[in-house]
Structure 1
Amino acid sequence: MVRDDLCITVPSLFRCPISLDVMKSPVSLCTGVTYDRSSIQRWLDNGNNTCPATMQILQTKDFVPNRTLQRLIQIWSDSVRHRVDSPESPLSTESVDRRDQLIVAITDFESGSENQFDSLVKIVRFAKDSEENCVFLAKTEGFVCVLVSFLDNVDGGVERSVELLEQVVIALDLVLCKIENRESILKSKKENESKSILDSLLLVLQQGSCESKIASVRVLKFIAVDAESKLLVAEKEGLLSELLNQITPKKDQNLMENALSCLVAISTPKRNKAKLVHLGAVKVFSNLLTASPSLCVSVTEKVLKLLETVSSTKEGRSEICEAPSCVVAIVNKVLKVSTVATEHAVTILWSVCYLFRDQKAQEAVTKANGLTKILLLMQSNCSPQVRQMSVDLLKIFRVNSKSCLSSYDTKTTHIMPF
């Protein structure tokens, strides 16, 4: 029994054009019009061969279940039932109305109607309003799949496609973090479908607004949850290069930080590390550290993390060693940014100076007063791993140039391990 104070408005799309009741089993004729199965079956059984709504002659009397509409009707019905059964609805009347309107908007978007773009804008606006709304969308069965399918199947003019893609990517970004299943979007896709999705994300990175670019790299990071997906992303022509383009000093810091986070997620496979080095990533990271002294802590940490990642490869170490300014910039971040940044910086210096034994890198560390910083670091509350790497570094410099250490006249020299 419905409470007297609860007014329920049924979206017109949920009503059968014949019975005007909410459809229980919506099916679509060849004309594209949807009816409740029992109503249209009676119409056809009475000998009619036309579509009741359009009066077009039916080429076939077959009909197909409209699963999308049935799912949306079910979501709406569950919402109504909850409001009727609850003594006090947890949602305001305004919230209820907005969710009903949202379901209509989702239906319009999924059906590809003329109002598709406007419907998508409404969905994005709804998601931005609150965390609760994002959760609601994430739990709307099939909604994420519809958004992903749209990335895989874009039509129309380029301008219109980019405009639509931006909204789709923003919507995806808002709901992906709320879904429980974190399996990669690409995992269940065929190879050509995966490429189309990456094509769409790349297009947004190239032509989108700052907001949609941030959403695009966040979606890419969500995608890159396993080795297979990371390789697929890295192998997409132009994608890694475009990500590197987003972390130049003049870019928005929020965009830079998200692009760096995405690169950190993608860069773990050895093949991807090599590709980053080949694309000139070391130079990009070096320029960021040297040209932007006012970088925020999180951006600096991520840049150093990526340099540490590529320094685990021979190619990466070679590139770092060939750029003394890069080594100097790394030394300058020790003990100046954060504990995390210091750990990354020391690991890089250990790789190029101790493991790789590069003379140019060792000279650059010495000129940048790196020995002093290493000694000070050993007196700090650093981790055992960092302390051991510092010991290794001091041994290298002692062997190569005793005079370097003898010039360091301070009471802290007693910590030297030899």
Structure 2
Amino acid sequence: MVLPMSRATRLMPELPLLRRGRRQAITASTSEDHQEEELAIPAHFRCPISLDLMRDPVTAPTGITYDRENLEGWLARGHGTCPVTGRGPLRLADLVPNHATRRMIQAWCVANRARGVERVPTPKVPVAEADAAQVLEDLSAAARLGDAAACGEIAARARALGKESDRNRRCLASAGAARKLSSAFGRLAAAGGEPVEGGALGKVLAALTVFFPLDDESRRCIVASSLTTLVSVLSHGDLAARASAAIVLREVASSAADRATVEAISRAPGMCDALVGLVRNPVSPQATKAALVTAYYLASDRAAASRFAELGVVSVLAELLVDADKGTSEKALAALDGVLCADAGLESARAHALVVPVLVKKMFRVSDMATEFAVSALWRLCHAGADAGACRVEALRVGAFQKLLLLLQVGCGGPTKERASELLKLLNGSRASVECIEAVDFKGLKRPF
């Protein structure tokens, strides 16, 4: 078949392009196959456990070379023999760095750098058990002498070693790092004389955050001797020290096994003020979340919940919840629900125009935990009291009835289901006189009405 001249003329320029495109595709495919073949990792560069390129090759007494991290993980899981040969016993102290293999791996990485292979960095020598014990003994000696500067330097070194590798962290933790650091903080706090801005206390707290969870002795040491100093760091320390203090306090409060410990923390002079200050004027997202979690645990003490309310935490939490991310929303809702256990908290929340709408808004599309705390807080507001009726009307107006129905249809369990059902009964009596608005009408809500 002969094409008309005009059509053939139009197609002629396209034919070379089509052929060229096919040639390029075939060439690219061949090049990719060739590249994949050339980039295959040599078998003796792979760890027998993970089959990945070894970054820190070490040789066991059986003569088999592994990546240190993988082999240490194998041993940490309770195995005590060589993974390949099954012979043992095998201990961390038996591992010998394989420098020859490491240098060959690095040379191979450099040779293939143009193909996107990154050079494996020279690994740092892991801390030995004797070295870890010596670091902590030096810390204790400096603390006994009241040498704050030396304590800060040694604590910073312990923190750096712990963050360098999980193996180092475990080694220092098994040598009692948490107890030694807690004791050092307590001794420095008892000695006094050093301004919290000086840095040593902050460095000790920063090091302590690396070795969580704290054991009972470490927590008792902090609660018994250091709460006043901890409040001072929370309130007046530099940004890093305040963040570290908040994280340590969260660990102590959330792990407390008895009510007396929580009450001791909550009633430390200035503690509630310092926590509210961290939420109102945040120094870091991590510190804000830590302060919210601590406030939640402390609010189980009615006196602390009332104090939080007096400090205006309800308004702070309501504003924070408007644009908060998932993690912050969960923790802020938990803290708000805790504060509402006190009459002062209920009074403050019922007087704030943003609280009910933001609780209804956060009832869905955050998480199951956020739903649980939002329903609980709304139930507290609408359940009883002089202003409970106004809260019910407001909840109906912003669509709480429809959301609660949907929540029960989707499914929820335990106290959340019971409170959602009771809320529906409470709200049902006021439905006829209330004009409901859709959730979309307050989705962009930013400020109080």
Shorter-normalised TM-score: what interval? Answer: 0.5 to 0.7
Matches of 1:173 and 1:223 in 2, distance apart?
A: 11
Aligned counterpart, 1:229: 261
Contact 1:324–1:361 under 8 Å retained in 2: no
One-letter amino acid matched to 2:392: Q
The correspondence for 1:200, drawn from 229, 234, 238, is 229
Letter in 1 for 2:139: I
Show the counterpart of 2:142.
Answer: 109
Aligned residue in 1 for 2:160: 125
**TM-score normalised by L of structure 2:** 0.61
Deviation of 1:90 after TM superposition, in Å, equals 4.4
Q: Which residue of 1 is the match for residue 213 of structure 2?
A: 177
Q: Please point out which of 405, 411, 414 is paired with 1:375.
A: 405
Tell me if the contact between 1:105 and 1:119 (Cα under 8 Å) persists in the aligned partners.
yes
CA spacing shift, 1:240–1:151, aligned 2, 3 Å = farther
> Within 5 A, what are the aligned runs for 1:2-401?
89-90=94-95, 95-96=127-128, 99=132, 102=135, 105-106=138-139, 109-110=142-143, 112=145, 115-140=150-175, 143-144=180-181, 146-158=183-195, 162-177=198-213, 179=215, 184-185=220-221, 189=224, 194=225, 197-224=226-253, 225=256, 226-248=258-280, 251-290=283-322, 293=323, 295-356=324-385, 358-401=388-431
Cα shift readout 1:188-245 (whole Å, capped 9, x = no counterpart): x4xxxx3xx1222122222334432222122223333132222222222222111111
Letter in 2 for 1:163: G
**Change in 2 beyond 3 A, CA 1:362/1:121:** same
Q: Cα offset for 1:163?
A: 0.8
Structure 1 residues 378 and 144, CA gap change in structure 2 (3 angstroms): same
% identical aligned pairs: 19
- What are the superposed Cα offsets for residues 318-347 of structure 1, whole Å, 9 maximum, x if unpaired? 221111211111111111211211121111
- Quick check: which has more Rg, 1 or 2? 2
Inter-partner Cα distance in structure 2 for 1:384 and 1:204: 40
Q: Which runs of 5+ in 1 are unaligned?
A: 1-84, 409-418
The 10-residue stretch of structure 1 (310-319 or 90-99) with the greater mean CA deviation from structure 2: 90-99
Distance verdict in 2 for CA 1:251–1:143, change over 3 Å: closer
| Residue number in structure 2 paired with 1:402 | 432
Mapped to 2, the partners of 1:352 and 1:222 lie a distance apart of 30
For residues 310 and 436 of structure 2, the distance between their equivalents in structure 1, rounded to whole angstroms, comes to 40
Match of 2:108 in 1: none
The amino acid of 2:211's aligned partner reads V
2:164 partner amino acid: D
Query: Which residue type is aligned with residue 122 of structure 1?
Result: R
Deviations 1:136-159 (A, max 9, x none): 334435624532333433445526
CA contact (8 A) 1:105 1:120 kept: no
CA contact 1:105–1:123 (8 Å) conserved in 2: no
- Provide the C-alpha distance between the structure 1 equivalents of 2:136 and 2:143, rounded to a whole number of angstroms: 11
Structure 2 distance, partners of 1:376, 1:352, is 20
Does the CA-based 8 Å contact 2:144-2:187 persist in structure 1? no
Following the alignment from structure 2 to structure 1, what is the Cα–Cα distance between the partners of residues 164 and 229? 26
User: CA 1:89/1:367 → structure 2, altered by over 3 Å: closer, same or farther?
Assistant: same
Q: Offset of 1:108 from its aligned partner?
A: 5.6
CA distance in 1, matches of 2:284, 2:182: 30
Root-mean-square deviation (Å):
3.2
Paired amino acid for 2:186: S
Distance 1:394 1:134, change over 3 A: same
Tell me if structure 2 keeps the 8 A contact 1:321–1:352: yes
Q: Is the 8 A contact 1:124 1:171 kept in 2?
A: yes
Q: Does the 8 A contact of 2:183 with 2:221 survive in 1?
A: no
How far 1:286 moved relative to its partner? 1.3
Q: Hey, what's the Cα distance between the residues in 2 that align with 1:158 and 1:337? A: 42
Could you tell which deviates more after superposition, 257-266 or 129-138?
Answer: 129-138
Give distance in 1, aligned partners of 2:172 and 2:93: 23
How many corresponding residue pairs? 313
